[in-house]
Structure 1
Amino acid sequence: MDFISLLALALAPGVAIGIYIYLKDKHEREPLLLLFISFLYGALSVVVTWMISMPVNLLILTKEEDVVHQFVNAFFKVALIEEFSKFIFVRFILFYNKNFNEPFDGIVYAVMVGMGFATLENIAYVFQYGLVTGILRVFTAVPAHATFAVMMGFFLGKAKFTHRQRIGLSVGALLAATFFHGLYDYFWFIAYIPGIGICAIVSLIIGFILSRKAIRLHQQASPFIDQHLEGNEQQRLEP
């Protein structure tokens, strides 16, 4: 498969999910330039992940065929580091942007950062392992990163507009994304146990269900929803 085709395969799922979330932002959409910058933050978070992971991997050694060691590997050496790397860009940069003005924006920005991360990671995997890996990741790893991002963004969207619980909800955002990411990875890491891989798919399906609910709840919580409805009503009445 040629370079352009592989690159398109690597880019497609992250871009498609980003567009999907953008279109779900029905009441007050974010500036496209800011979304692109958020996507780049996600790519930059891969570098942060590498910087943290290198010393951690040297200090904490894990055995491949040990379920306890792989638990540590999945939840702490992979999930926590990756989600923290994305979290710092959403929570400490985008969180304070003036365009972050409704709960759903937490999901939008978290997903854009998550897709930037997943896309750069996907490019590395596709060019290293080829077409089959790229196709599999279209339906597994990249959508999984999207669900982790929705979990994070849901809580950060609440934190933005809940001053008393801001710290707790921010921590909850990181922990929720880390939990689902760690769970998903853990089952793949111990897939040498017959049949256990199905649990990774089940965790991904649960993530999809919860993500859809989170999206719906924040859509309904938009302070712009009445303006949107009034605009639609006015258009309907115009001759």
Structure 2
Amino acid sequence: MSTGEHRFFDLLYHPHELPAQPHPMLTRGALVCGVLSLGLIAGDLGLRAFGLGFLVAIVPVPVYIILVLWLDRFEPEPPLTLVQTFAWGASVAVFVALMVNMLSTDILGALAGPRAGELFAGLVTAPVVEELAKGFALFVLFRELKDEFDGVVDGVVYAAMVGLGFAMIENVQYYGEAIADGGDSSTVTFFFRGMMSPFAHPLFTSMFGIGLGLVRERHGEARSWVAPFVGLTVAIALHSLWNLAATFEGWFFALYLLVMLPAFIGVLALIYFSLRRESRVLREHLSPLVGDGVLSHSELECLCEVRRRMRASAQAWKRGGVARWRARRELHRVASELAFHRWRVLRGLSHGPEADAQREAEYVRRLCELYEHGRVG
């Protein structure tokens, strides 16, 4: 087999490990926006408060990211795409929000007074602009990654990543201001922003992600396009309510318990049912492989249940260390990609009959190769 063919198969078998590189202009644009945003925040806070605020803001981020990735257990998203999504939230979305919010505050402040400008920015401008800026990234992913953005779970995962990126940089400003104001203020701010509201931006944006996910799951249904507009409206409304509660501190706990917490639980419940739907997709589209002799019945059951997948991965580690564990994870990934590829083709998300058939054949060949060489089992 030639080097070029090996490269093609690697890209096909491992789309999560070797994704397409981002466009240089987009990369440079995100970098410039990120630097400008941090520069504006640092200029407002001072270097000491900015540095301490930045350190405090980034410490919990890995924990939140791990929790988000844990949700997407059947068909994990490409790592580079997740990094790009996080970076968009932390750079472009933040820069756009800073510019528009400052402009609207200044203009309305000059017309109706500083307090009116701040209220309008917090309750109207910020929710609208920030959710549109974050949501734009989701819309691009939805349009461009038809082989990855498969449903509600993917919409929530991408929304959470862009929201976490945005929240991290926003928290740099809040933490820095609290540190500059003194110890008591920084402790209270860390408690409210670091402990009680890390899910706020991911929660808001996930409403739009859910809407896009429903469109993908109901591909071809005209009425499904209502879902993203409803989701974006709900995202803006939740964001506005959150800012309202932050402005009038006596309302915070009531809003947190009566609105935000139920919304968060509702999203988790929706993810649970979406994972069950994904399990049914796997079972429906992988079952023919049992009759073809590619998979055993017990392997099919393993592939369709998260707990069995986790148990199989743990056993692979015990039997063969990292190599067998990686092979088991590859089996899970390839089988999931095959099932969702078949699911997409049946719904008209096709690259053409020849390309679809070639991709399916290579997925099946890779599964057979993993078994024949004894890499899994």
TM-score, with normalisation over the residues of structure 1? 0.82
2:135 pairs with 1:87 = yes
> Quick one: distance in 2 between partners of 1:32 and 1:136?
30
Q: Tell me the CA shift for residue 224 of structure 1.
A: 4.7
Cα 1:65–1:49 shift into 2, 3 Å: closer
Secondary structure class of the residue paired with 1:60: helix
User: Which residue, out of 231, 251, 256, partners 1:196?
Assistant: 251
List aligned pairs for 1:88-237, cutoff 5 A. Answer: 88-97=136-145, 98-130=147-179, 131-132=186-187, 133-162=189-218, 163=220, 164-191=222-249, 195-202=250-257, 203-222=259-278, 224-226=281-283, 229-231=301-303, 232=308, 235=312
Is the Cα contact below 8 Å between 1:111 and 1:146 reproduced in 2?
Answer: yes
When the two chains are superposed, the root-mean-square deviation of aligned CA atoms in Å is 3.1
C-alpha contact (below 8 Å) 2:101/2:121 kept by paired residues: no
Number of aligned positions between the proteins:
232
Partner of 1:14: 61
Structure 2 unmatched runs, 5+: 1-47, 180-185, 287-299, 316-375
RCO comparison, higher one (Cα < 8 Å, 6+)? 1
Where does structure 1 lack aligned partners over 5 or more consecutive residues?
none
Q: Say if 1:142 and 1:100 are closer, same or farther in 2 by CA, change over 3 A.
A: same
Q: Structure 1 CA distance, aligned partners of 2:275 and 2:132? A: 26
Identity fraction in percent: 22
Runs of 4+ with >6 A deviation: 1-5, 62-66
Deviation at 1:63, TM superposition (A): 6.4
Aligned AA (2:108) = I
Q: CA deviation at 1:22?
A: 0.6
Query: TM-score, with normalisation over the residues of structure 2?
Result: 0.54
Query: How far apart, in 1, do the equivalents of 2:237 and 2:133 lie?
Result: 15
Confirm or deny: 8 A CA contact 1:103 1:158 kept in the other structure: yes
Instruction: Provide closer, same or farther for how the CA distance between residues 207 and 102 of structure 1 changes in structure 2, counting only shifts above 3 A.
Output: closer
C-alpha separation in 2, matches of 1:150 and 1:74: 20
Contact 1:188-1:200 at 8 Å conserved across structures: no
- Equivalent-residue separation in structure 1 for 2:151 and 2:301 (angstroms): 16
